[in-house]
Structure 1
């Protein structure tokens, strides 16, 4: 620091994709402290950033030094949040400003909302009492002051009636809080009666909160074992200590049942954080977090970057879910970063799943994480029986996908007054549309992907960029009219077949493009719980923790679907997904049944699911990964180059390849066109860096790219620990 406070210099981090910290003068009268949100000049504009660190040795000449313009009326960005931004940026090899932007995702929340104006009755009667005025006064006489909009709405009058009464001093104005209050969860409200296994697991988690120290626990319980009730006890203890809690869910917008269970346990809903919130809700909730008024937050992966001043626990539910991995923007895995956030804040982390990721399971088995097991379903419910249908022996026939054994099992379930579910992880009507005359396939003009037919909306759609089009009447290749046919099934086509087989039953289809909001999810859950749906047909979103007491049979149409391709985690994902889908059956008194249709029933994944032999599957998967030195026994990073100009990206990829380092303990594969070689009109090439687990893969990449200027029309994306290999 300079000898006089007048010339104190600090570094300000701006939420920008380029650059890093910038040096500014901190005028003495401002009383600037680290973590404050401030406005600073940058070129000809003013930008909001965060005071990140002192700059006593700044080399910027005094003539070029500019002053901080203003301090924003918001609490400081907590020290732990700043440390987290630094750590994530370094690990992911991204600019710190890009990471900070995720923590400053609601700029409006940096300014307090002005107080609302409410009105209440003074007791003075107007000389002229019209029916409209009478209705307003009846509402305003009792209860708290209401805004003009609320009074107008409740009394069914125009706002001018309310304002007129205020002008006559019949109503007086009062200041109301700027935001509706955040209800506090009641940690003293009794929870569910726990089984012995649940009690032991809950006791461990509560002790970790009481110790107030960093610890990671894997809560591994079969589907229906009551993992949620166990970690609710941990949250209650955290609330007792007046600290904040965060629960990450893979599909928060679709988790209406989880929210209802939380409200039943704690008397109110938690603060939510996900993309379906309105801007006003995001503003309110972000401000509630940084001010410490949000005691429990439940959110998608981005909630990890909220500015918690006193976070005491993080729960990552369904920790195995691939949706916790962000591929675009700043690529990060929320499960892994949650562990980092806990270490920075010195508090415990819970990773919960019925089918843990191999990384987490190995950490638990090697005692790096505490291992808490719930081996049986809650309340004595039994795991479902699993039966295999070999499609080589029981072919459904041409343009059919429900085999005779599955049809009979579904019919018997429905006739018994129980609910059934058919699972197929393909949206739309058909994954491919081609010309019956010449075989021409309809492809997205912006991506190297086939267009998927969605018959309900009468459109073809690309699931990568969102492009839509109508099916052409004439083939553009051979010019034959009305020649396009659907190939393969999506859930819409499967529903069409089910309606022919079960014409008197209520059938519903559920997918991520049909259930797009929490309200839609709640309506679907309500319809299932009321028995308004007999047969549910859906994609992977129906595997995410739903509990339907009368759902006793699950049919998996194509158990082999996820095993195709060279994805590192194809077997693991398939096992997890099919196990979770199977776990929807028979979760209460009536025992469930699962029918798997497969062309390769001898595959280790399929065999492990049929025999419900988790240990056999993980032994198989562990051996395969160890032999290939793949994660978690090695490290991977992907470099993806993309450009609108195919020649530019190919040329730069070749240039990088020629300068790629060579060593015995790592290998750089590529460049090769990505499996999806074009997305949104951008041509794509990939490199894959593979090294020993102990190596600093970021250093390998950093040394390789050092001094390399990326052309202005080429985009380079670095993905440490990639999940998506497309």
Structure 2
């Protein structure tokens, strides 16, 4: 058959490529791997990428369709990112087409041109002046010439009304040959600016040693920058980025949450004059594409983004930073279940650039890699400036009365810090007014009708809300079991704590920071602005407050319920609880004011809490690593989790039983050693959103052995008839066992 066969990767869960003939009128020499094509796929038209060119196809010639359109004249992604996507698809056992789709902005997935939006500028033509004969009777046009003369590099079309100009006047000047329209990148600068807007801070000896190690070791290395909260990790990032920019290269900075973007962006723009762009899900599609193209074309020096920004192309890659590398937000929990931290390390290897993983509480996987010598370990043990680490104290609340979840000693401590003109942070990792609604007469509890979970009571507006499936309903007025009207909210969430503190301290503003209070655009930034004003206030919030924020006027951190992680069913429960407490405690005493941390607990003698408060996170990490090694759990083994859900329990059980049998058969057939199958078992929350869930865990001694099983196993599962009756997925290196 004349012409090459296009092997196209389409956004489909099917782990295969699809063959098409070249589009009509396209010469074979125009075709390259990585170009986008529009194709007919069933009743739809899809945009895919050419992943291969072949001479022959297994599809009969009569059934081989031509692609409809060649969208790009050259490959869309640089070679290193193409290889990153290919590796990602293989490692996470996902389709290449779906992986490439996840790596691209939405508009590129839809076939939009990979062209940046240009600013339109109005500029005077040579020979134009206010007293030009053609303007003798056109006062508005004469005024326009006077204004344009003040802007020799051009006046943005978006700003003409602010200067009292009309589009009609400018177009009249254009027709007379006295003005013209030009297009220009929004990141373009006419005059070179000094790289720094402000001088770097003076680095302390530990920061200097860390910077020297990073800057004096060229090429790819992964650096674990472990620094206690407030130790100046960000200053190390900034000075490393300065070195990168002076070499004419770009830096990519990953952050875990959108909520950190405004303060991070502000910090970087205060330091550098180079253009900075952000990439996160809060942008509209056009903004994301513009930022993506600006990074690809080298028009910006710094890219800041959340998880998916790891796929952003860079014209001159020079440095990759993953801040708060331990954070669960870097793990995608549906679809392509990748870990952006791990992809960042592999990308650094592909592009031969250093990768910095920063955290006060590194994940055990990262610490293990550092101990084995795969990562280089840098430590910052002292807080920057004169700041001192906060003092920890556990408040035993057994037998103590609680008011809105707060004990009397804690309320007294809050009052004392507020009277001194300071700020207080109250941490409770539960949204809503109360965790549940209970009948005081018969004990009935309001449960979700679609999940094995209790409904959370919300007060503003008043309703019951399931935080697992997002279903909502009005508050019950009478108990459906005994018809009693005595229904009471049990326990405390952020709303109830906010209400009680507002009543107890009526003269002090109480600022609640959780997903509900920051849902509106710019809501988080407005709250942070009030906090940074330095006025006394009470902050009440969830783990959104624990991540990377700098609150110099917070002197007391109160943790209301520290016991939840002590008895978690997840083997990572202790690690996460220690990380959370350490991170939120780190908001206290970050300036010259001493900090205090009070932890309310019913388990004041628990060894984990004692180790954490007396010896810090490193002691917990080493203790947990030893326990993991003894139990043969990650990072000393490698796991994958096969999840299934269906409308009936027997459907998930039958599918996973069949999957287990297939895996056992493959183990025997291939002679694979060191693999253990655990399950199938119901998921810890068996029913969610009306569907029944179960899971099968695969545990292996070696990563290579695990993948030797997974690839052929998934091929068999895709052909399994039972698989069409359930919704199933595979999670490689899962962080959430639920």
**Fold conserved between structures, TM > 0.5:** yes
CA contact (8 A) 2:457 2:465 kept: yes
Confirm whether residue 608 of structure 1 aligns to residue 611 of structure 2: yes
Confirm whether residue 516 of structure 1 aligns to residue 519 of structure 2: yes
| Distance in 2 separating the partners of 1:638 and 1:631 | 13
Over 3 Å counting, the alpha-carbon distance change for 1:168 and 1:687 in structure 2 is same
Structure 2 partner of 1:724? 736
Measure how far apart 1:715 and its partner are: 1.1
Over 3 Å counting, the alpha-carbon distance change for 1:73 and 1:95 in structure 2 is same
CA contact (8 A) 1:15 1:104 kept: no
Query: Secondary structure in 1 aligned to 2:708?
Result: helix
| Distance in 1 separating the partners of 2:694 and 2:586 | 39
| Distance in 2 separating the partners of 1:404 and 1:49 | 62
Over 3 Å counting, the alpha-carbon distance change for 1:596 and 1:703 in structure 2 is same
My pick for the range that moved more, 548-557 or 246-255, is 246-255
Structure 1 partner of 2:567? 564
Structure 2 partner of 1:692? 701
Query: Secondary structure in 2 aligned to 1:110?
Result: coil
CA contact (8 A) 2:15 2:94 kept: no
TM-score (norm 2): 0.89
Confirm whether residue 22 of structure 1 aligns to residue 34 of structure 2: no
Q: 2:230 aligns with which of 198, 209, 224?
A: 224
Confirm whether residue 11 of structure 1 aligns to residue 23 of structure 2: no
Q: 1:435 aligns with which of 430, 436, 439?
A: 439
| Distance in 2 separating the partners of 1:163 and 1:676 | 65
Deviations 1:574-593 (A, max 9, x none): 10110111111111111111
Over 3 Å counting, the alpha-carbon distance change for 1:363 and 1:167 in structure 2 is closer
Structure 1 partner of 2:401? 396
Aligned positions of 1:637-716 closer than 5 A: 637-661=640-664, 665-694=674-703, 696-708=705-717, 709=720, 710-716=722-728
Structure 2 partner of 1:248? 254
Measure how far apart 1:84 and its partner are: 1.0
Q: 1:419 aligns with which of 417, 423, 441?
A: 423
Q: 1:201 aligns with which of 180, 196, 210?
A: 210
Deviations 1:331-360 (A, max 9, x none): 111111211222222222111101111111
Aligned positions of 1:264-663 closer than 5 A: 264-267=270-273, 270-392=276-398, 395-397=400-402, 399-481=403-485, 483-516=486-519, 519-661=522-664
| Distance in 2 separating the partners of 1:647 and 1:412 | 59
Confirm whether residue 175 of structure 1 aligns to residue 182 of structure 2: yes
Measure how far apart 1:62 and its partner are: 4.7
Aligned positions of 1:58-137 closer than 5 A: 58-68=57-67, 69-72=69-72, 76-108=76-108, 110-112=113-115, 117-119=120-122, 123=130, 124-125=134-135, 127=137
| Distance in 2 separating the partners of 1:592 and 1:246 | 33
TM-score (norm 1): 0.90
Over 3 Å counting, the alpha-carbon distance change for 1:113 and 1:701 in structure 2 is closer
| Distance in 2 separating the partners of 1:126 and 1:46 | 57
Structure 2 partner of 1:33? 32
Deviations 1:366-389 (A, max 9, x none): 222111011101113111111111
Deviations 1:253-299 (A, max 9, x none): 33322222211221356210101112221121122122232322111
Measure how far apart 1:171 and its partner are: 7.7
Structure 2 partner of 1:52? 51
The unaligned stretches of length 5 or more in structure 1 are: none
Deviations 1:570-627 (A, max 9, x none): 1000101101111111111111111111111222321122213334312321122112
| Distance in 1 separating the partners of 2:496 and 2:462 | 13
CA RMSD of aligned residues (A): 2.9
My pick for the range that moved more, 434-443 or 422-431, is 434-443
CA contact (8 A) 2:578 2:617 kept: no
| Poorly superposed stretches of 4+, deviation over 6 Å | 133-138, 182-185
CA contact (8 A) 2:568 2:574 kept: no
| Distance in 2 separating the partners of 1:118 and 1:373 | 50
My pick for the range that moved more, 259-268 or 318-327, is 259-268
Measure how far apart 1:65 and its partner are: 4.5
Over 3 Å counting, the alpha-carbon distance change for 1:43 and 1:195 in structure 2 is same
Query: Secondary structure in 1 aligned to 2:344?
Result: helix
Measure how far apart 1:560 and its partner are: 1.2
| Distance in 2 separating the partners of 1:222 and 1:115 | 44
| Distance in 1 separating the partners of 2:3 and 2:74 | 25
Measure how far apart 1:479 and its partner are: 3.0
CA contact (8 A) 1:148 1:163 kept: no
Query: Secondary structure in 1 aligned to 2:716?
Result: coil
Query: Secondary structure in 1 aligned to 2:432?
Result: coil
Measure how far apart 1:51 and its partner are: 2.4
My pick for the range that moved more, 512-521 or 183-192, is 183-192
Measure how far apart 1:306 and its partner are: 2.1
Query: Secondary structure in 2 aligned to 1:232?
Result: helix
CA contact (8 A) 1:126 1:168 kept: no
Count of residues in correspondence between the two structures: 712
Deviations 1:45-72 (A, max 9, x none): 5432222233245445555545553242
Structure 2 partner of 1:142? 150
